[in-house]
A and B are shown apart, each in its own frame.
Chain A
Amino acid sequence: MHKPLRKIVIVGGGSAGWLTAGLIAAEHSTDPQSGIEVTLIESADIPPIGVGEGTWPTMRSTLKKMGISETDFLLECDASFKQGSKFLDWHTNTNEHYYHPFTLPYGFNDTNLAPFWQPFRDEISFADAVSAQSHLGEHGLAPKQISTAEYDFNANYGYHLDAGKFAILLQKHCTKKLAVKHIIDHVTQVNNSETGDIASITTKNHGDISGDLFIDCTGTSSILLAKHYKIPFVSTKGILFNDSALALHMPHESPDSPIASFTCSTAQTAGWIWDIALPSRRGVGYTYSSTHITDDDAKKELRDYITPIMGDTAAQSVKIRKIDFSPGYREKFWHKNCVAVGLSAGFVEPLEATALALVELSAKMISEQLPADRQAMDLVAKRFNAKFLHRWLNVIDFLKLHYVLSQRNDSDYWREIKDDKSIPDSLREQLLLWKTQTPYHYDAIHAEEMFPSASFQYILYGMGFITQERNKKRVDGSKKAQMLFGENIKHTKQLLSSLPSNRELINKIKQYGLPKI
């Protein structure tokens, strides 16, 4: 009999640490006699990075699982509803746009509408033809009504949120409701056992803290996995060039300005600008490649973006924060009795908000596959590493896809990022295949892919990719497809007439709260 796993020590607060703590403590009994003990140590000296303000729809089940009321979450985190991403100027840089909504194409599970849309490509955009959600985006509508229960939806959604406030809410919930122990202290040393496991960590004021499993949520400094265990870093700078970001907060034009329900991503000469609307402010930032543009020129492009919204004087004086990052991930994520979650495991770039999603997926797997003892841990670690390596590669291919289909030629950045040499083989092969067949269920190699084939369809066809299917089918599916297109129109009309604006719904939630059922 091996000693059962009892003590989990999470190093680092922030969204990653608290989400991991919360998901584990919500899944497992924390009974002092028979359950597990979750301790989170965070340093008062190191502020969390505080970006990562967009989530996936997965966040709904994450919050629900932890037992957080959606009304409390929305109000305390200054959160609003996110229904996907809107990409501007990525394709031809002629004020064009396309949508990547969270809702799957109509009838996607049993019918692939993409081939039937192809003949009408010049008449209607792919997203508009197969989903209601891009229409909701253009009309600024919310994904639900005030009478829709917490976490239920009329159209699939995640959130835009204030990352600082989010960590505070999670901390409060984890410590008060889920029996997570919170220690504020600075880690000074990591102590190995004879087997090379981490036996304990030494803190400045609380002495040695021992544990059976250590979770590294220390952000880019990656104290346990990178500094202590020296797990090598795999750079993706040659594929995805962005390594810098300039971030700022700005007020809405007026307090009752519409709150956009999509993350707006506008391509620039050496990267792209995100624009995330919360009820009380907008978070805007430019992520770019420092090898392709100087910080000053990037600042100028960012100011050009915000000047029409906030005026010249305010745009010149607004406080801009600079963040540097190395795009890439660790060669493995779980080593011995230590697993990294969040930026400590890697970060490629903010596109498609994968950071928090990867945190949720990592924490979910650690929690649901929590090894019973040290022997089981190596097997779980092996699975975890294989699964997440696949997920990182899937993320990289998917993000790269956004760039390679661009027709922009206005800078070296765009010319080089589309260059064949910078495209991973896996993506190059898929692009070749997609010339004669549309991405569909066979494109998902693993269960729970990060991005379903539907997402690949939205990007490909949003960016004007042409698939010419050559194989003629014995049964003509076009009648069924016409019916589904028709149903999508009906569904869209019904949603357009019944959903409130995002701002209207947030105001009502402030007044009444969302019903629990």
Chain B
Amino acid sequence: MANSVLLNSIDHQEVKVITERSEKYGDNLWYSLTFPSEFRSVQAYYPIFFNKDVNTGEFFSVAMFGFQDKENLFLTNNKWDAPYIPLSVARQPFLIGLQKVNEDGEEKEQRVLHISMDHPRVNKEHGQELFLEFGGNTPYLDTIADMLEAIHHGMVDSKVFINSLIEHELLEPFTLEIKLDDKTQNQMLGFYIISEEKVSELSGDILAKLHAKGHLQAIYMAIASQSNIRGLLIRKNIQLGL
């Protein structure tokens, strides 16, 4: 995001962040990034698919909110109609920045909190305050900092998780047939899912290894999440008045 700056209590003392959910704040998302440590919460409401980064060809997992670009079927009347919002959405307009610090003569990289000043949530009139009167963090900002830490570690784990899915050839491309109540049919292409069949063919040794790394649970969470496709379809039918 353009104009992302290091957050500090002096320059940003008066900054407020709107936490309402709406299209005008960029919540009309087709899908957003997720990672295994969040799968338990995500799979309760959203299908978890896999997608390739067009710039690197690397896979990442996503929580699905709709069937096409800019379609978030959970977004209704300025509300997000689900008890859990994936962290990569909830953290907006904050992001992690890296800062070089000198620690005992050794150069190290430290994670720091950045804010996108151009983000439509950022203003000085409405929403959550970031800093207390004398510069301390508000509980809101502490929550955000925790989220970003969770995302950072989640993405590191995610890479290992996805590499092991690729190694055991568990991902497969799939085409989602979208049949609506008015009999119209559409296809959604380009996403990947974990193949239940291939998982069932894994040997005991490999299953034990996946379990030891905590990947087995994530695999089943992702498989279970596929039942939420039905939920998305119901939302789509309601939205179209079908």
Residue numbers in B under 8 Å from A148 (CB-CB): 57
Report the stretch among B105-113, B166-174, B232-240 that lies at the interface: B166-174
Interface string of A173-210 (1 = CB under 8 A from B): 00000000000000000000000000000000000000
Q: Would you call A515 and B173 a contact (CB within 8 A)? A: no
Residue numbers in A under 8 Å from B192 (CB-CB): 517
Residue numbers in B under 8 Å from A516 (CB-CB): 166, 169
Report the stretch among A41-49, A90-98, A388-396, A506-514 that lies at the interface: A506-514
Residue numbers in A under 8 Å from B53 (CB-CB): 147
Give the interface centre of B53, B57, B173 by most chain A CB atoms within 10 Å: B57
Residue numbers in B under 8 Å from A511 (CB-CB): 56
> Chain B: which residue is nearest A516 at the CB level?
B166
Q: Would you call A512 and B57 a contact (CB within 8 A)? A: yes
**Interface: A133 (CB within 8 A):** no
Q: Would you call A517 and B172 a contact (CB within 8 A)? A: yes
Q: Would you call B166 and A146 a contact (CB within 8 A)? A: no
Q: Would you call A145 and B56 a contact (CB within 8 A)? A: no
Residues from 156 to 176 in B contacting A, C-beta threshold 8 Å = 166, 169, 171-173
Q: How many residues of B contact A (CB 8 A)?
A: 14
Residues from 22 to 69 in B contacting A, C-beta threshold 8 Å = 52-59
Q: Please report the C-alpha to C-alpha distance between residue A511 and residue B58 in the assembled complex, in whole angstroms.
A: 11
Q: Would you call A515 and B59 a contact (CB within 8 A)? A: yes
Interface string of B70-87 (1 = CB under 8 A from A): 000000000000000000
Q: Would you call A514 and B171 a contact (CB within 8 A)? A: no
- Contacts A147-B52, A147-B53, A517-B192; A512 near B58 (Cβ below 8 A): yes
Q: Would you call B56 and A146 a contact (CB within 8 A)? A: yes
Interface string of A482-517 (1 = CB under 8 A from B): 000000000000000000000000001001111111
Residue numbers in B under 8 Å from A514 (CB-CB): 57
> Chain A: which residue is nearest B58 at the CB level?
A512
Q: Would you call B173 and A146 a contact (CB within 8 A)? A: no
Q: How many residues of A contact B (CB 8 A)?
A: 12
Q: Would you call B57 and A146 a contact (CB within 8 A)? A: yes
Give the interface centre of A147, A511, A516 by most chain B CB atoms within 10 Å: A147
- Contacts A515-B52, A517-B192; A145 near B57 (Cβ below 8 A): yes
Q: Please report the C-alpha to C-alpha distance between residue A517 and residue B198 in the assembled complex, in whole angstroms.
A: 15
Minimal beta-carbon separation of B31 from chain A (angstroms): 16
Minimal beta-carbon separation of B93 from chain A (angstroms): 28
Q: Please report the C-alpha to C-alpha distance between residue A511 and residue B57 in the assembled complex, in whole angstroms.
A: 11
Q: Would you call A146 and B55 a contact (CB within 8 A)? A: yes
Residue numbers in A under 8 Å from B172 (CB-CB): 517
Residue numbers in B under 8 Å from A147 (CB-CB): 52-54, 56-57
Q: Please report the C-alpha to C-alpha distance between residue A486 and residue B192 in the assembled complex, in whole angstroms.
A: 32
Minimal beta-carbon separation of A27 from chain B (angstroms): 21
Choose among B54, B166, B173 the residue that contacts A145 (Cβ–Cβ < 8 A): B54
Minimal beta-carbon separation of A459 from chain B (angstroms): 35
Residue numbers in A under 8 Å from B166 (CB-CB): 515-517
- Contacts A516-B166, A517-B192; A508 near B171 (Cβ below 8 A): no
Interface string of B172-198 (1 = CB under 8 A from A): 110000000000000000001000000
Choose among B54, B59, B169, B171 the residue that contacts A146 (Cβ–Cβ < 8 A): B54
Q: Please report the C-alpha to C-alpha distance between residue A453 and residue B98 in the assembled complex, in whole angstroms.
A: 58
> Chain B: which residue is nearest A146 at the CB level?
B57
Minimal beta-carbon separation of A384 from chain B (angstroms): 36
Minimal beta-carbon separation of B236 from chain A (angstroms): 27
Residue numbers in A under 8 Å from B52 (CB-CB): 147, 515
Q: List 18 A-B contacts (CB under 8 A).
A: A145-B57, A146-B55, A147-B52, A147-B57, A148-B57, A508-B55, A508-B56, A508-B57, A511-B56, A512-B58, A513-B57, A514-B57, A515-B57, A515-B59, A515-B166, A517-B171, A517-B172, A517-B173
- Shortest Cβ-Cβ A-B pairs, 4 listed: A146-B57, A147-B52, A147-B57, A515-B57
- A146-B54, A147-B57, A515-B57 known; 13 new pairs, CB 8 Å cut-off, are A145-B57, A146-B56, A147-B53, A147-B56, A148-B57, A508-B55, A511-B56, A512-B58, A515-B58, A517-B166, A517-B169, A517-B172, A517-B173
